[in-house]
Structure 1
Amino acid sequence: MCRIPPPGTLRGPENGDPFLTAQPGTPRSPLRRPLPILAGLSALALLLLVVLWNWDWFVPMIERRASAALHRPVTIAHLHVRPGWTTTITLDDPHIGQPEGFTAEKEDFASAKSLTVSVKPWPYLVGRGLTLPLVALDTPRGDIVALQDGRNNYTFTADGKPAPDNGSPTSLPHIDELRITDGDIRVALARLRSDFRLALHTTPPAEGKLGTIVAEAKGRYAAQPITGHFVGGALLTLADAQNPYPVDLHVANGPTTVTLRGTVNDPIHFAGAQLNLTLTGPDMSLLYPLIGIPIPQTPHYSIAGKLDYTEAKIRFTGFEGRLGSSDLGGDLTVDPHQKVPFVEAALHSHLVDLADLAGFVGGEPGHAKTENPSDTKILPDQRINVPKLNAVNAHIAYHGDHIENKRLPLDNIDVEATVQDGAIDVRKLNFAVGTGTLASVATLTPAANDDFSTRFKLDVSRVPVTRLMKGLGSLEGQGTIGGHVTLSATGHSVADLVAHGTGGITIVLDQGGHLSAILPDLLGLQLGNALLSALGLPPRTPLQCFIADMPLKDGILSTHSFLIQTGDTRTTGDGTVNFRNNTLDYAITTRAIHFTVASFPGAVHISGPLRSPIILPGAEIAGRVAATGALAAVFPPAAIIPTIQFGVGKGSACEQAVAQAYAHPAAGIAPGTTTGPHPSPAARAGRARATRATTAAERKAAAEVRAAWAKKQQKTGHE
């Protein structure tokens, strides 16, 4: 049914009648006008926002978040952002303050006039990594500090200590260009006794060549002045596996200079290098702060070789150079990834002067040494550095083809040694002497108070007498010497070990030989025979035997037997050498075996400091000289009487002394097969059976011989 409105009621759209429409020309209803108004207001607001927008509104939020993340205050003067496919962000006057505990530093941790970073957002959003076309630093400043207690200001943790390594690799952004203008960074590392500054800047690309980064260093490193100059390629090549990164570095740290030139392959992934390394300086031990490998004192050196590395090892190969008056070459490999870095060294020399290696046994290397008149020590007394030994584990092999040494006629040298957890194991320290060998082994184990518990053994095997005494020119013939030297001690240097050591020396001459006649004659002050020997009559006298059997107990070397017997004389020694205070109290007596005239036999006393001993004739010699003078004054022909010796006779002193040395060797090891020609297997077996067959009666007989020998020495050799 159609509803008819009441009479007089106006009908139309404005009254809600949907069936009626406005007539043409009728005004639009006000209810439809807010939509365009809102659109206009929105456009106006957007325009005003664009015109009035200030990126500094975000500065407080950035400062708060950065300060919380870096654990130190961060301030920014202004923030500028230019959006686009490549978005550019600029921070004006950024400052990163010092963390807690470093507020006394005069400078901020980092600051700059401005920091500009260009970012490509799209590759990052689609998972292709972060790409930074440009990082530009204008006048950057830095203050990098590490304290003695291990805290530093460059580890961004709450306590300032290094964060634990979680093993996950760090993803680095790809930087196309790093632009640095007038950079200045201070580096102060207390444990390294270092405080130096780095001046940094970059050069722009030119003529198709990439730019470079340049750094100049000046200050102190390892308590020594340091200057350095570095030129490297643009940082965009650091992550470019196809373009090796160029390196040119020169560093002078005190008297030590290091030069490194070449290229590095894909440095981010340790793909390798082609670098030439040159090291020059007065002492290799000064390299420790630079390379982290402890090296004993050396004379002046200059070495050059190839430096390479992989993810596993660093290699210094094919190096050659000079070490004092010796040449030195070889290969060196370092594995820095073990808990303690491991070093493998294979070294060689064609010509080596042993004086250049003195530092490896605690002595002062080289020949130009400054003598200290108050220093009475004759053994190397440089303390073995335990902390440095704990800094590295190592295996070292060294061979010297020819030894240049005026005092000892050694032919070559072979060394093999390891360092493990501060312990030294010298597996081989051998010298060739003609057809013989001086072979030694030693172990040094860390003990209390930074001392070392040491075991040392030297085997003297078939050393020709002529080669051993070549420097003196006094021995001839085919005699060979053999025996052993042992030492057991706890100490901190070679001198300290011997001063507290127990062991001994047992050396025996086998096969005979010839001794220049003037030597024993002068020892016995046989003036007439010495004169004849000096004139060449006789030119030689046969050396029948030589025995030195001397025990060492608590640093004092005493004498079981000391005997040199020739065809004409018998020289004996008795006394002590005290390595505790480096003095000796010894007597050497030479007597003629046959009837001799014009001789003053008796003991010659040697006493006082080992460096400058006092040599005085004994009472027998003094008495004979006084008697000769008195008789010459009364009746000159009778002056010859005190110089007459009737001789001690040949006897069996050699056999007795050798038997004693075999039965009770002071070194604790019988000479065995170390003397004489190389025995056949049957001879070696026979000698072993003979050694095992030594009976208690033979040992008793040897003791009786020893007692008789001591009694005779007391009677005839000690006045």
Structure 2
Amino acid sequence: MVNETSSSPGSTNRCRHLALKTTGGVFGVFALGILILVMIWQWDWFVPLINRKASDALHRPVSIAHLHVSPGLRTSVTVDDLKISQPEGFEKEKADFASAKSLTVKVDVWRYLTGRGLFIPIIRMDTPTGDIVSRINGQNNYSFSDTTEKTQTQTPSKPMTLPDIGEIDIQNADIRLALAQLKTDMHVLIHTTPPQNGTKGNVVVDLKGRYAQAPINGHIVGGALLSLTQPAEPYPIDGRIENGPTYVTLKGTVDDPLHFKGTKLALHFAGPDMSLLYGLTGIPIPHTPAYSITGNLGYSESAIRFQKFEGRMGSSDIGGDINVNPHLKPPFVEAALHSHSVDLADLGGFVGAKTGEAKKTAPPSRSVLPDQKINVPKLNAVNAHVTYHGDHIRNKDWPLDNIDTEFAVKDGAIDLKHLSFATGSGKISATATLQPTKNEQFRTKFRLDVSRLPLSRIMKATDTFKGEGTIGGHITLTSTGNSVASLVANGDGGTTLVLDRGGDVTALLPDLLGLKLGSAVLSALGIPDRSKLECLVADMPLDNGILKTKSLLLQTETTRTTGTGTVNFHNDTLDYAVTTRAIHPQILSLPGAVHIFGPLSSPNILPGAELIGRVAASVGLGVLFPPAALIPTIQLGVGEGSACERAVQEANTNPAAGIAPGETTGAGASSVPHPEKQSETGKPTKHLTPSQVRKAWAQKSKPK
């Protein structure tokens, strides 16, 4: 009987053969599948996944057309037609937020797997573009979701370590910057040059468009981009930027620029007006004439420094040091400036006068005082402390010796600690404070002190002037406004000035009043030629922009001239009467009166012998000069025992009008003569005002 459960050797072999055949078939199918997969594989299958993940991460649509991967020990990944669309709210922008024809990154996989860190041999970008937009309301298209920022603030962040990169290759990059608040719309064009002859190549940046409303063109060549990450190697920079009529050149090296270690840079500025630098520097500077300045630019973690600069500003030289702390809000600027030789006209912009480019483009001004408005937003943009010293002042009209000043700007307020001029034995010194108000005006207090100022230095440009007169006195102003003109027009205060022993009055007054006006006044007054000026005293209060006359005296060897009237700074007009009479009795001597009225820039003069004789008779009793109150100022301003002091005493004890002027200087006395004055007989004496004189003259001049 045969056992049916036993197997024969043949059946076992058949089973083994079947198993091997099955296994081989599986491996064959698998190999075939791999072969087919390799043949039909497309990395583009991952494109939808990449687009979705990138869009979620950047919170704006992202797409790539193709993905290419070259596996190996050094794996290369390339994406084609990268596009990052504009975020929500910026869909109407014509260009994408960012794009590139291709972006390639090569990674050294083997080095990373063996624990030697991440090494990227090359990053290559072909025709990358960008469209950076910031609107006037502060909205922009480059702020991403704050989720990442919140996570970083909640979790202590570790210092970021950059991977080791071999080369960055950028070709034909075009980044548009449209920044409404900076009034800027320009293109930044970037490309790199390949390493050659042992160098690492360069990055080249060109600027085109408009920056701060002015055309901008720039060409900057820097070292290789990767050199920025290597602190041991100074990074070279060589560039030139033209912003409107202003141009800047910069050449030198930067030490470890990512960590602000130091620089060796030569910076050169030049242009028609320093105020135009505001767009480039963010620092407000008053208007200036044409300038050219070169210095050393340095920076650290706490400050940007422009040191040991020298140059020209108009016809003046200028130099010094400027330090800026950009980390404070607003930034803080500390400047120590100096000039060896300075023309005061070059500094006119600091008091609102138009200079440089502003003088060419500004419309004609009707104001005789500087009417350039103080720019409150610019003042709020920076806090500053500035000192300036000019060793020698060159100016044919104001031959002062030197200038020294210190002022501070804090939160829009200006504190002029001092502004001093030395002239021979004399000195002019001013202080002022300007506090901003809500409507962009300034509450202002100003004081000017003049002490023993030699007139011969002031009148140096006059060839015919002879004498050693001395000027002393004070000017004060309290007001609210936003320019010199508006501050005076709205102001209260006054002027008290004394001129002692002024030399030849026929040479002096034409220059003080202007040649045409001064000569005409002297001729009309009948002051003899070559008269020696003994004293000139002016005490003129300012009341809400109207300069009145409390006292005005001009005394020569033979005549005494007094004045009354007003100067209106609201409309820049004057209405004035000046009367001259002999100090000693003279036969056929007729007191002369001159009436000056109309615009300050070109006033009218109204003399007339017959009418003046009638007016002088009334003015002789009614227009009184009260100089006695000025004796303390005279003593302080020009010294005791001066001719002015004697003239005041003489006018008080022996008045030409027969009434002691001291009687009008007591408490409660009016600052201007009253139209009606009691005569010594007790009867009111009527006299004519300047406007009444003009009216009478007009009637008299009518043809009969």
Q: CA 1:185 to 1:366, structure 2 compared with 1: closer, same or farther past 3 Å?
A: closer
Distance across 1 between alignment mates of 2:357 and 2:12? 122
Which of 341, 355, 373 aligns to 1:383? It is 373
Distance across 2 between alignment mates of 1:118 and 1:415? 62
Residue 221 of structure 1 is matched in structure 2 by 211
Q: Residues 306 and 318 of structure 1 are in contact (CA less than 8 Å); yes or no, is this contact kept in structure 2?
A: yes
| Amino acid in structure 1 at the alignment position of 2:536 | F
Which of 541, 550, 555 aligns to 2:532? It is 541
Distance across 1 between alignment mates of 2:551 and 2:117? 83
Deviation at 1:449, TM superposition (A): 1.2
Q: CA 1:332 to 1:602, structure 2 compared with 1: closer, same or farther past 3 Å?
A: same
Residue 541 of structure 2 is matched in structure 1 by 551
Q: CA 1:124 to 1:481, structure 2 compared with 1: closer, same or farther past 3 Å?
A: farther
Q: Residues 423 and 444 of structure 1 are in contact (CA less than 8 Å); yes or no, is this contact kept in structure 2?
A: yes
Residue 115 of structure 1 is matched in structure 2 by 103
Distance across 1 between alignment mates of 2:111 and 2:312? 55
Does structure 1 residue 186 correspond to structure 2 residue 176? Answer: yes
Distance across 1 between alignment mates of 2:46 and 2:598? 87
| Amino acid in structure 1 at the alignment position of 2:43 | W
Residue 283 of structure 1 is matched in structure 2 by 273
Residue 530 of structure 1 is matched in structure 2 by 528
Residue 636 of structure 1 is matched in structure 2 by none
Which of 557, 560, 572 aligns to 2:562? It is 572
Residue 231 of structure 1 is matched in structure 2 by 221
Distance across 2 between alignment mates of 1:128 and 1:361? 65
Q: Residues 484 and 507 of structure 1 are in contact (CA less than 8 Å); yes or no, is this contact kept in structure 2?
A: yes
Distance across 1 between alignment mates of 2:420 and 2:671? 38
Q: Residues 133 and 177 of structure 2 are in contact (CA less than 8 Å); yes or no, is this contact kept in structure 1?
A: yes
Q: Compute the RMSD of aligned alpha carbons.
A: 3.8
* Superposition map of 1:330-341 within 5 A: 330-341=320-331
| Amino acid in structure 2 at the alignment position of 1:442 | A
Deviation at 1:453, TM superposition (A): 0.8
Which of 666, 675, 695 aligns to 1:703? It is 666
Q: CA 1:704 to 1:341, structure 2 compared with 1: closer, same or farther past 3 Å?
A: closer
Deviation at 1:285, TM superposition (A): 1.1
Does structure 1 residue 89 correspond to structure 2 residue 77? Answer: yes
Residue 252 of structure 1 is matched in structure 2 by 242
Q: CA 1:662 to 1:140, structure 2 compared with 1: closer, same or farther past 3 Å?
A: same
| Amino acid in structure 2 at the alignment position of 1:541 | K
Q: CA 1:374 to 1:156, structure 2 compared with 1: closer, same or farther past 3 Å?
A: closer
Which of 614, 639, 647 aligns to 1:676? It is 639
* Superposition map of 1:15-54 within 5 A: 29=16, 33=20, 42-54=30-42
Q: Residues 175 and 235 of structure 1 are in contact (CA less than 8 Å); yes or no, is this contact kept in structure 2?
A: no
Which of 333, 336, 349 aligns to 1:346? It is 336
Deviation at 1:79, TM superposition (A): 1.1
| Amino acid in structure 2 at the alignment position of 1:462 | R
Q: CA 1:700 to 1:448, structure 2 compared with 1: closer, same or farther past 3 Å?
A: farther
Deviation at 1:156, TM superposition (A): 2.3
Q: CA 1:374 to 1:437, structure 2 compared with 1: closer, same or farther past 3 Å?
A: same
Distance across 1 between alignment mates of 2:485 and 2:185? 38
Distance across 2 between alignment mates of 1:125 and 1:672? 94
Q: Residues 297 and 305 of structure 2 are in contact (CA less than 8 Å); yes or no, is this contact kept in structure 1?
A: yes
Deviation at 1:541, TM superposition (A): 2.6
Residue 408 of structure 2 is matched in structure 1 by 418
Deviation at 1:98, TM superposition (A): 1.2
Q: CA 1:60 to 1:175, structure 2 compared with 1: closer, same or farther past 3 Å?
A: same
Q: Residues 214 and 243 of structure 2 are in contact (CA less than 8 Å); yes or no, is this contact kept in structure 1?
A: yes
Task: Give TM-score scaled by structure 1 length.
Answer: 0.81
Residue 699 of structure 2 is matched in structure 1 by none
Residue 592 of structure 2 is matched in structure 1 by 602
Deviations 1:65-105 (A, max 9, x none): 11111111111111122234432211111111111111112
Distance across 2 between alignment mates of 1:39 and 1:677? 124
Q: Residues 69 and 78 of structure 2 are in contact (CA less than 8 Å); yes or no, is this contact kept in structure 1?
A: yes
| Amino acid in structure 1 at the alignment position of 2:246 | T
Distance across 1 between alignment mates of 2:581 and 2:662? 28
Distance across 2 between alignment mates of 1:466 and 1:86? 87
Q: What secondary structure sits across from 1:449 in the alignment?
A: coil
* Superposition map of 1:1-12 within 5 A: 8-10=2-4, 12=6
Deviation at 1:55, TM superposition (A): 2.0
Residue 480 of structure 2 is matched in structure 1 by 490
Deviation at 1:366, TM superposition (A): 5.8
Q: Residues 540 and 551 of structure 2 are in contact (CA less than 8 Å); yes or no, is this contact kept in structure 1?
A: yes
Which of 323, 326, 349 aligns to 2:313? It is 323
Residue 656 of structure 2 is matched in structure 1 by none
Deviations 1:137-169 (A, max 9, x none): 112222222211212222223799999999966
Residue 638 of structure 1 is matched in structure 2 by none
Does structure 1 residue 200 correspond to structure 2 residue 190? Answer: yes
Residue 131 of structure 2 is matched in structure 1 by 143
Which of 630, 637, 640 aligns to 1:661? It is 630
Distance across 2 between alignment mates of 1:199 and 1:717? 74
Q: Residues 524 and 602 of structure 1 are in contact (CA less than 8 Å); yes or no, is this contact kept in structure 2?
A: no
Q: What secondary structure sits across from 1:363 in the alignment?
A: coil
Distance across 1 between alignment mates of 2:574 and 2:117? 79
Identical columns (%): 54
Deviation at 1:616, TM superposition (A): 1.3
Distance across 2 between alignment mates of 1:527 and 1:193? 59
Q: CA 1:461 to 1:366, structure 2 compared with 1: closer, same or farther past 3 Å?
A: farther
Deviation at 1:480, TM superposition (A): 3.1
Distance across 1 between alignment mates of 2:478 and 2:603? 27
Distance across 2 between alignment mates of 1:241 and 1:91? 32
Q: Residues 528 and 597 of structure 1 are in contact (CA less than 8 Å); yes or no, is this contact kept in structure 2?
A: no
| Amino acid in structure 1 at the alignment position of 2:579 | T
| Amino acid in structure 2 at the alignment position of 1:530 | P
Deviation at 1:612, TM superposition (A): 0.7
Deviation at 1:600, TM superposition (A): 4.8
Q: Residues 371 and 483 of structure 2 are in contact (CA less than 8 Å); yes or no, is this contact kept in structure 1?
A: yes
| Amino acid in structure 2 at the alignment position of 1:191 | Q
Distance across 2 between alignment mates of 1:65 and 1:143? 22
Q: What secondary structure sits across from 1:177 in the alignment?
A: strand
Q: What secondary structure sits across from 1:191 in the alignment?
A: helix
Rg bigger for which structure?
1
Q: Residues 590 and 613 of structure 2 are in contact (CA less than 8 Å); yes or no, is this contact kept in structure 1?
A: no
Distance across 1 between alignment mates of 2:371 and 2:160? 49
Distance across 1 between alignment mates of 2:182 and 2:212? 5
Q: What secondary structure sits across from 1:396 in the alignment?
A: strand
Deviations 1:329-388 (A, max 9, x none): 111111111111111111111121111111111111269957999743111111110011
Distance across 1 between alignment mates of 2:574 and 2:42? 92
Distance across 2 between alignment mates of 1:154 and 1:175? 26
Q: CA 1:196 to 1:203, structure 2 compared with 1: closer, same or farther past 3 Å?
A: same
Q: CA 1:307 to 1:529, structure 2 compared with 1: closer, same or farther past 3 Å?
A: closer
**Which has the higher mean CA deviation after the structures are superposed, 118-127 or 174-183?**
118-127
| Amino acid in structure 2 at the alignment position of 1:392 | V
**Which has the higher mean CA deviation after the structures are superposed, 185-194 or 22-31?**
22-31
| Amino acid in structure 2 at the alignment position of 1:72 | R
* Superposition map of 1:288-327 within 5 A: 288-327=278-317
Distance across 2 between alignment mates of 1:76 and 1:524? 90
Unaligned stretches of 5+ residues in structure 2: 510-517, 642-660, 680-684, 694-704
Q: CA 1:716 to 1:144, structure 2 compared with 1: closer, same or farther past 3 Å?
A: closer
Which of 452, 458, 462 aligns to 2:452? It is 462
**Which has the higher mean CA deviation after the structures are superposed, 177-186 or 606-615?**
177-186
Deviation at 1:314, TM superposition (A): 0.9
Does structure 1 residue 132 correspond to structure 2 residue 132? Answer: no
Residue 702 of structure 2 is matched in structure 1 by none
